Amino acid sequence: MAKMEVKTSLLDDMIGVGDMVLLEPLNEDSFINNLKKRFDHGEVYTYIGSVVISINPYRPLPIYTPEKVEEYRNRNFYELSPHIFALSDEAYRSLRDQDKDQCILITGESGAGKTEASKLVMSYVAAVCGKGAEVNQVKEQLLQSNPVLEAFGNAKTVRNDNSSRFGKYMDIEFDFKGDPLGGVISNYLLEKSRVVKQPRGERNFHIFYQILSGASEDFLCKLKLERDFSRYNYLGLDSARVNGVDDAANFRTVRNAMQIVGFMDHETQSVFEVVAAVLKLGNIEFKPESRVNGLDESKIKDKNELKEICELTGIDQSVLERAFSFRTVEAKQEKVSTTLNVAQAYYARDALAKNLYSRLFSWLVTRINESIKAQTKVRKKVMGVLDIYGFEIFEDNSFEQFIINYCNEKLQQIFIELTLKEEQEEYIREGIEWTHIEYFNNAIICDLIENNQTGILAMLDEECLRPGTVTDDTFLEKLNQVCATHQHFESRMSKCSRFLNDTSLPHSCFRIQHYAGKVMYQVEGFVDKNNDLLYRDLSQAMWKASHSLIKALFPEGNPAKINLKRPPTAGSQFKASVATLMKNLQTKNPNYIRCIKPNDKKAAHIFNDALVCHQIRYLGLLENVRVRRAGYAFRQAYEPCLERYKMLCKQTWPHWRGPARAGVEVLFNELEIPEEEFSFGRSKIFIRNPRTLFKLEDLRKQRLEDLATLIEKIYRGWKCRTRFLLMKKSQIVIAAWYRRYAQQKKYQKIKSSAIIVQSYIRGWKARKLLRELKHQKRCNEAATIIAAYWHGTQVRREYRKFFRANAGRKIYEFTLQRLMQKYFLEMKNKMPSLSPIDKNWPARPYLFLDSTHKELKRIFHLWRCKKYRDQFTDQQKLIYEEKLEASELFKDKKALYPASVGQPFQGAYLEISKNPKYKKLKDAVDEKIIIAEVVNKINRANGKATSRIFLLTKNNVLLADQKSGNIKSEVPLGDVTKVSMSSQNDGFFAVHLKEGSGAAVKGDFLLSSDHLIEMATKLYRTTLSQTKQKLNIEISDEFLVQFRQDKVCVKFIQGSQKNGNIPTCKRKNNRLLEVAVP
């Protein structure tokens, strides 16, 4: 099996140029062409020294698998093809092994893949660091914080379906082994204006759509939301649905991630309630209303939305309604309350929505930090990952783009400083003379923006704090006065502008010459967005909420902590955050990922040269290459350099026995490379011009071809010699084996011939002896046969008469035996089925077999009846025994019997144990109940029927009241002497009791039942079982019953049609009771 080729250098099988430092010639066109060539071949990563350029492929690539992670693990940065894993591994190993804190700065415009790059960095670090339950839990929490922040901080824009609308910096903390302990997240400038208004073709933050799409109906009902997007004014409808994005599935992912990170159920519920409140705030609308004093006042049109918001947040409706209509201004000891017109009311509503969502997002970041922070107090190593907005140049650029570009100016400044610092430190470390490098220092642009006296942010704050009328135009006028002479500032009124008469620069705009190009800013909204004011009435209303989370989000609303000092502006807050970030980054070793978007269509395989060129310019990539190439374009340690190029010199090939540096010196002297093209450092060789490196690569390639030819020649000679020696050895072995084989064949032939001669001689002797023995045997057999025949003749002559006398009897017996055998064989094939009710039986073939035929029929019937009975369970046997008993008692005697044959005997027709109605009766009867049935008891006086419950147990017969369940009569089975009934088709029967017994005081019982046959049969069997005496069953149309002291005759007669099918009972006189049966 062929061994897989292993890459040992970035230069192996290189598509285009993998490191832009080696690009020759270096200009903008060659830079773009090299990126395009690599992009077309699926190579989306390219180096500029230690900087990684990442082009968004807009398609999944098979280069992020676990196998790729292992491939880049613990490998030199330049050993394999450019990859984000190589930079991640270099940063992680430097942190773990060299104890250097690291930071990874990911920059690029929206849609360039910054968020995905940060995920890949974190997933690689999670894959290569240690394992264990606690470590895995920390890694999972760090990774699952991303879906939560993306849901609340990302949105769909025209450039990116998952655009981060906030800056994020995460410090991941490690212990001395390199295992993660926790992390800290910092967020910068959430684009909260998106909450209330989105540009055309863009969406609000993901979480709003995810809740409406993925939450259950019950959950939406609790949040007082509806699933229809069009119901909410804060949601743009033109891009509510995004192709390839499943908001419902993402909502489930967010909820699961919140659970993993450590959010409690009530915290998650509170967060979604705040999101619902923000969504419903957009549906509050106002109408104008004039007051008596002539001032305009705003009123809420429909208070239903306000009511639902107050129910969600626990705010008094009147308090919030007043906060939307009035504004209280406090100055020293005075309070002034003014009404808000409709425009001001809408401003207050939107300001509340923006502040509520922005503070919720900050609370989420703080809450996540509490869960993922390191629990131990030991010294930690830190790796920071910065995912922040790239440089933005739109058609309309406002305050957000201004401070985003300011942040990028600071990042570019620190990038240049740290890159030059790194270069200088390496030169000093290697003992190479450092020469000053000319580059554009954008500190002058940073100073234009952030200077405490004359900076744009300082003047914006000053304008916001100034009393009197403050507008965006007054701010622009102040800029024109202070910054007019600045070489990087231009406006229509500035002295430095070269386009004073150019109408493309409107009056309400100013332009700044950034390091990435000129950007024109619209001053409209600068003052309001910098002020970022929320009326104190709204803050106090939020603080009064019973909702714990909302109350915590507005601490300034506490009346006890009223601070009349103006809160810091958005610009000053962001400036302080950026300063803190820069200070943090300068303490760490930087690693850079520059993300580039290849096209605006978000489509794969499309490379827009103009768009890429624009990004290359404002990212300063060419300048980065020039800074890196200003001294020496390529440097490499002596050992890998000697290993790669040693075949170019006879003295170093194939093995160099001395120090690696001495070998490289011999090598370069042998190749006659000019001394000005390289320098020897302490541990590395430095090559000034990329052409020198490419010349070495060409020589190496040619030498490898020559070596391959030499190796092939030597191999072929070795192979031929080996084959010849093998054939010679094989010929000797074959000859030896053949000679042995020939001698064996000759010996076997002589041996087989001798055996054949011996066998022929032995056969002849054996055949001769056999002939003599056969002749002797035939003589003996002939004598025996003659003697036998002679003896037989003598015996037949003597007994001939005897045999003739007994021949008839033997023939008769033989004939009978054959006939019986035939009979039984035929019977075997004509046997009827095994059903006991099958009456079929084969016909008798012979008269003399008549008795045998009948006996066989009887035996067969008994046998199949036994087989049939063996199939019964004990319960079935008991049922059939009762049915058989009933047959013996009533068949052909009682007209009601045939109808009862097909009805199974159930016994417990009343479910006394299950029916709570009969609980009292069940408690009174301790014995097992054999039958429980409702019967009609005939009144002794008038013949009318009364319902009673008839119970039969092992020892007693009981009659109970059907309604109350009270036992009326209880008769032991030993006191029952007889049961009488008619032969008619009725259910009347009399239970005769023993005279003198306690139960016979009132006389015998005359009863009527629909299950007469079953009741009489069970009474008969139970009495026989307990008393060992048969109960007398009398079947007669006239019988006597004892009623107290009198004996009454019960007579059954045929009734008239007017009675229908129901038997009736009538008392004729003291001695006669007639029962009319239909």
* Per-residue three-class SS string for 2-31: CCCCCCCCCCCCCCCCCEHHHCCCCCHHHH
Q: Which residue pairs, CB below 8 angstroms and at least 24 apart, start in 652-656?
A: none
Task: Show the tokens assigned to 921.
Answer: 């009766």
Specify the length of the chain in residues.
1078
Alpha-carbon distance values, 513 to 438, 493, 567, 582, 618 (Å):
20, 16, 31, 22, 11
34, 56, 107, 160: the active-site residue:
160
What 8-state DSSP symbol labels residue 557? Answer: G
Q: Is 65 a catalytic residue?
A: no
Question: Is-contact 688 629, C-beta < 8 A?
Answer: no
CA distances from 756 to 22, 613, 763 (A): 94, 103, 10
Q: What SS3 state is found at 790?
A: helix
* From 111, 153, 182, 663, active-site residue: 111
> How large is the C-alpha radius of gyration of the chain?
56
DSSP 588-644: SEEEEEEEE---SS--TT---HHHHHHHHHHHTHHHHHHHHHSS-SEEEEHHHHHHH
- Catalytic: which of 390, 571, 681, 1003? 390
Percent helix, strand and coil across the chain, each to the nearest 5: 50, 15, 30
Active site residue 494: no
Of the residues 110, 239, 530, 591, which is catalytic? 110
Beta-bridged to residue 154, according to DSSP, are: 164
Asked if the peptide bond before residue 654 counts as cis, ω within 30 degrees of 0, the response is: yes
Q: Whose structure tokens read 């009533």?
A: 890
Neighbours of 404 (CB within 10 A): 22
Catalytic residue among 56, 163, 530, 531: 163
Q: In degrees to the nearest 10, what's the CA dihedral of 764, 769, 775, 779?
A: -170
Selected catalytic residue, list 54, 115, 187, 298: 115
The yes-or-no answer on residue 548 being catalytic is no
Residue 164 is among the residues annotated as catalytic for this protein: yes
Q: Concatenated DSSP letters for 964-998? A: T--EEEEEEGGGEEEEEE-SSS--EEEEEE-TTSG
Out of 392, 409, 490, 1014, pick the active-site residue.
392
Tokens for 665? 């010196």
Q: Which two tokens stand for residue 477?
A: 């006028």
Give Cα separations from 420 to 87, 125, 413, 425, 590 (angstroms).
19, 27, 11, 8, 12
Do 1010 and 1076 meet the contact criterion of CB atoms below 8 Å apart? no
Is 679 tagged catalytic?
no
Structure tokens belonging to residue 34: 């090299």
Outline where DSSP puts E strands in 678-749.
678-680, 684-687
Secondary structure letter of residue 908 according to DSSP: B
Q: Report the alpha-carbon distance of residue 370 to residue 184 in Å, rounded.
A: 9
792 is known as an active-site residue: no
**From 54, 118, 164, 491, the catalytic residue:** 164
Q: Phi-psi category of 26—alpha, beta or left, where left has phi over 0 and alpha has psi -120 to 50?
A: beta
Name every residue whose Cβ is closer than 8 Å to that of residue 741 and which is 6 or more positions away in sequence.
none
525 is annotated as an active-site residue: no
390 is catalytic: yes
Question: Distances in Å between the alpha carbon of 56 and those of 23, 65, 72, 80, 391?
Answer: 22, 18, 21, 20, 16
Q: Residue 109: helix, strand or coil by DSSP?
A: coil
Task: For residue 992, list its beta bridge partners.
Answer: 978
Q: Identify residue 696 by its one-letter amino acid code.
A: L
Other beta carbons less than 10 A from residue 941's beta carbon: 8
Catalytic residues: 110-111, 115, 160, 163-164, 390, 392
